[in-house]
Amino acid sequence: MAVLSKEEIGQEEVEKFYQFCKKSIDMEVASYLEACVRCGICAEACLFYMGENVSGRIDPTLTPAYKADLLREIYKENYTLLGRLKKLFGFGVKIKPEELKEQARLAFYTCTNCDRCTKACPMGIDTPRLVSIVRGALTHAGLTPKDLADATNLSVEKGSPLGVDTQTFLQRLEFISDEYEVNIPIDRKPSEYLYIPSSIELMKFPSSVASAAKVLNRAGVSWSMSTVAHEATNFGLFAQSREVTREMLRRVLQGAKDLGVKYIIAPECGHAYQSMRFIAPNVFPEEWDFEVLNIVELIDRMLTEGRLRLKGKVLKETATLHDSCQIGRRGGVLREPRRILKELAEDFRDSVLIPEHNICCGGGGGVLVIGDADYYRQKAFISKMTLFDKTKARTVVCYCANCMLALTKSSQELKRDYRFVSMVELVAEALEEET
């Protein structure tokens, strides 16, 4: 199952790439590939292109439409009459090994699957869907970027991309319980809710995990964490490896089944929510019988139902909201965080008029872990900064740990003084004041 990161690219890799692309075409994909009118509007929506542009350089290859162009060529020569004729007469697509390197740059370094271009495109073309196919094809050919491949393999071997195995998991939870004085049930049977953290939270933002536990305890639900399903993030989606995606989801399924839960609570992690809410039901159509909620969704629900009460606004300074693309624009949890933040912040200023228009952190889709993509991530952060600065807020509330990590990193690298805080943590803080 291991995802490879070959150095040498030969004809075999090219062939594998080609065949994967060819097989990935369905009605939806073909519609997108056919519909592009080459207007280039999507470029202005893409944070990578914008970031370069703001700093005075124009790199047209960062245009979303261009990122799918090789796939488009492959589609044409296999599915259209003219394309087939061209191929017959020897004018078909000839992929040179170096071109696959360029494809890796386009698909893995300069696209976070954020979906913003889809919203701006007059033809509604879902570029992230197309980029995912290119990623899948590269992974199939063994050409996943090294850093990403390593983290992906680690998640299969040890259970998490940060190498958190069950033992480390238990140790961390013990530490969190002690440090933050919170009760965390583990493998409690039966439970109604299963909360699965991401290892980024566990290792880098432990207070997020503690806060989620506090919230769940206060809401009075029967919940538990699981030693089987202890990682919510799914790196299989970053690498677009079906096997890894499936394996990571299988563990979640197993853990949830063992505890007999009805609800699975995804943490502050974009791809975790995406994989469990929208992908798992298709991977395990027979067995997946859970309602998946994001923790923010759950909090909003509990607040509306009156099962959680907040006392006062804990955030005094001017604050804005950063949306996680996979939970928000691609997950439909956009109104919830805004409702919650209005309860939490005295001066909440949204940086966008329409929540679906928010800009990605620049590190999603695995871009953050790929060292070679740092340059692009920093450039993307410049686009993000323009939105922050528009609101004049220095405090930014996030609901994805990966976003928070990426934003913090880019912000430090570019010497900015934004403060990033987790929404769940704020909620927990507001709860504490109640007693």
Partner 1 sequence: MTDVAFYDFVRGPLLRFALFVFFLGIAYRFFRVLFLGLPPDYAKPKGNPYLMAVKKIVIKPTMGWTFNEIFSRRAINFIGGFLFHLGFIGLTFFVPAHALLWKEITGIPFPVLPNIVSDILAYAALGSLIALTMHRALNPVLKLLTGKDEYFANFLIAMILFTGLLATRWAGGGSYIWLLSLHMFLADLLILYIPFSRLSHFVYYFLSVGFMGWNAGKRGVSF
Task: Give the interface with ligand SF4 as residue ranges (CB under 6 A).
Answer: 36-42, 45-48, 64-65, 67, 111-117, 121, 123, 125, 127-128, 131, 360
- 104-163 residues near partner 1, rule: CB under 8 A: 118-120, 122-126
Q: Is residue 361 a contact partner of residue 411, using CB atoms and an 8 Å limit? A: no
CB of 63 to partner 1, least distance (A): 5
CB of 180 to partner 1, least distance (A): 33
Using the rule CB under 8 A, which residue among 78, 80, 217, 254 binds partner 1? 80
CB of 151 to ligand SF4, least distance (A): 20
Using the rule CB under 8 A, which residue among 79, 146, 206, 221 binds partner 1? 79
Structure tokens at 417: 């003084």
Instruction: Kindly state whether residue 282 participates in binding partner 1, applying the rule CB under 8 A.
Output: yes
Among candidate residues 378, 352, 350, the one with its CA nearest the CA of residue 363: 378
- 36-75 residues near partner 1, rule: CB under 8 A: 36-41, 43-45, 49, 58, 60-61, 63, 65-66
Between the alpha carbon of residue 310 and those of residues 340, 391, 435, the distances in Å are: 10, 25, 10
Using the rule CB under 8 A, which residue among 353, 415, 417, 435 binds partner 1? 353
- 153-212 residues near partner 1, rule: CB under 8 A: none
Q: Which is nearer to partner 1, 68 or 239 (CB)?
A: 68
Q: Which is nearer to partner 1, 180 or 284 (CB)?
A: 284
Using the rule CB under 8 A, which residue among 4, 14, 25, 203 binds partner 1? 25
The amino acid sitting at 274 is Q
The amino acid sitting at 320 is T
For the chain, the maximum distance between any two Cα atoms, rounded to a whole number of angstroms, is: 78
Instruction: Kindly state whether residue 30 participates in binding partner 1, applying the rule CB under 8 A.
Output: yes
Q: Which is nearer to ligand SF4, 1 or 39 (CB)?
A: 39
Expressed in percent and rounded to 5, the helix, strand and coil fractions of the chain are 55, 10, 35
- How far apart are alpha carbons 365 and 377 in whole angstroms? 11
Instruction: Kindly state whether residue 357 participates in binding partner 1, applying the rule CB under 8 A.
Output: yes
Structure tokens at 314: 């804990």
Alpha helices in 267-400 (DSSP H): 270-274, 280-283, 295-305, 335-344, 374-391
Q: Which is nearer to ligand SF4, 163 or 355 (CB)?
A: 355
Burial 280-307 (b: 16+ CB within 10 A, else e): beebeeeebebebbbbbbbbbebbeeee
- 297-336 residues near partner 1, rule: CB under 8 A: 328-332, 334
Instruction: Kindly state whether residue 92 participates in binding partner 1, applying the rule CB under 8 A.
Output: no
Helix, coil or strand: residue 224:
strand
Q: Which is nearer to partner 1, 184 or 276 (CB)?
A: 276
Which listed option, partner 1, ligand SF4, none, makes contact with residue 235 (CB within 5 to 8 Å by class)? none
Using the rule CB under 8 A, which residue among 11, 27, 305, 415 binds partner 1? 27
Vertex 336 angle, CA 333 and 341, to 5°: 130
| φ and ψ of 198, to 5 deg | -100, 155
Helix, coil or strand: residue 46:
coil
| φ and ψ of 396, to 5 deg | -125, 125
Structure tokens at 133: 């196919």
CB of 29 to ligand SF4, least distance (A): 13
Number of residues that bind partner 1 (CB under 8 A): 56
- How far apart are alpha carbons 404 and 101 in whole angstroms? 29
Q: Which is nearer to ligand SF4, 74 or 299 (CB)?
A: 74
Which listed option, ligand SF4, partner 1, none, makes contact with residue 28 (CB within 5 to 8 Å by class)? partner 1
Among candidate residues 235, 238, 288, the one with its CA nearest the CA of residue 264: 288
* Binding residues vs partner 1 (CB under 8 A): 25-28, 30-32, 34-41, 43-45, 49, 58, 60-61, 63, 65-66, 79-82, 118-120, 122-126, 277-282, 285, 288, 328-332, 334, 353-357
